Amino acid sequence: MNSEELNPAELHRYADKFLQENFGLQLDIPVRVSKRMKSKLGAFQIKLQNKKVVSKEIVMSNSFIMNNSPETVLDVLYHECVHYALYTLNKPYRDSDREFTETLERLGIAKTRTYKYKGQAYLYECRKCSYQFTKRVKGYNKRYICRHCRGKFIYKGMVESR
Ligand SMILES: [Zn+2]
Ligand SMILES: [Zn+2]
C-alpha cells in the first residue's frame, strides 16, 4: 500500500475496523483530509455552539499523509480513534488523561507527539490562486508553475511537525 491511497473513504474504513475490533464501536463521524492543517498531524474535533455539540469529525493532515509511510499515518489515525472511542463511551478522552494514555499503551499505539514529518518538507503557495502544497524538494517555485492557474509559486517556509 501507498500513502496516496489513503483517501478519506479508506481512512474511514480503517478507522471503523479498528474501532469495531477494539471497542465494539462504529465510526459514525466523517474523516476529512485537510490541506490547510499544518500544525497537527491529526485531530479529533468537536465543534460546539451554545454548549451543544454541532459536529464531530476526525481530520488528518494531507502533507503528513503524503510524506509518511501508511503505517505511520494509520498509527496517528488510530490515536484519533481512541479519542473518539473514549469520548463516545463517556470516559476521559483528552491527551493528558490517564485513561487515554493507558489505552494507547494497551493497544500499542504511539503518542502522536513522537512523530515528525519524514525528511523535510517545504511549503509553497501560488501567488495568483493561493493554492498551497508541500514538496520534499527545494526550489520547486523556480522550476514549475501552477497547474490550476499557471501562476508562479512563492516559497513559504518549512513544514513543522507540530
Ligand atoms: Zn491526541
Ligand atoms: Zn495558481
Domain count, the chain: 2
**Distance from the alpha carbon of residue 114 to the mean position of ligand 1, in angstroms:** 11
Closest ligand to Cα 141: 2
**Distance from the alpha carbon of residue 1 to the mean position of ligand 2, in angstroms:** 30
Same domain, 134 and 68: no
Same domain, 22 and 88: yes
Same domain, 27 and 103: yes
Q: State which residues form the domain around 141.
A: 122-158
Same domain, 79 and 149: no
Q: What are the residues whose beta carbon lies below 5 Å from ligand 1 (ion)?
A: 95
Same domain, 109 and 142: no
pLDDT of residue 124: 86
**Distance from the alpha carbon of residue 42 to the mean position of ligand 1, in angstroms:** 8
Closest ligand to Cα 146: 2
Same domain, 67 and 138: no
Same domain, 26 and 82: yes
Q: What is the pLDDT of residues 124-161, one digit of tens each?
A: 899 999 988 878 778 889 889 999 899 999 988 766 43
Same domain, 82 and 152: no
Whether the Cβ atoms of residue 141 and residue 153 lie closer than 8 Å to each other: yes
Same domain, 85 and 104: yes
Confidence of residue 162 (pLDDT cuts 50, 70, 90): very low
**Distance from the alpha carbon of residue 112 to the mean position of ligand 1, in angstroms:** 6
**Distance from the alpha carbon of residue 150 to the mean position of ligand 1, in angstroms:** 39
Read off the pTM. Answer: 0.69
Q: What is the pLDDT of residues 32-48, one digit of tens each?
A: 999 988 778 888 998 88
CATH number at residue 77: 3.30.2010.10
Closest ligand to Cα 103: 1
Closest ligand to Cα 144: 2
Confidence of residue 86 (pLDDT cuts 50, 70, 90): very high
Same domain, 85 and 152: no
| 57, amino acid identity | E
Closest ligand to Cα 125: 2
Same domain, 98 and 150: no
Confidence of residue 115 (pLDDT cuts 50, 70, 90): low
Q: What are the residues whose beta carbon lies below 5 Å from ligand 2 (ion)?
A: 126, 128-129, 131, 146, 148-149, 151
If you search the block for the grid coordinates 503518542, which residue do you land on? 111
Same domain, 20 and 98: yes
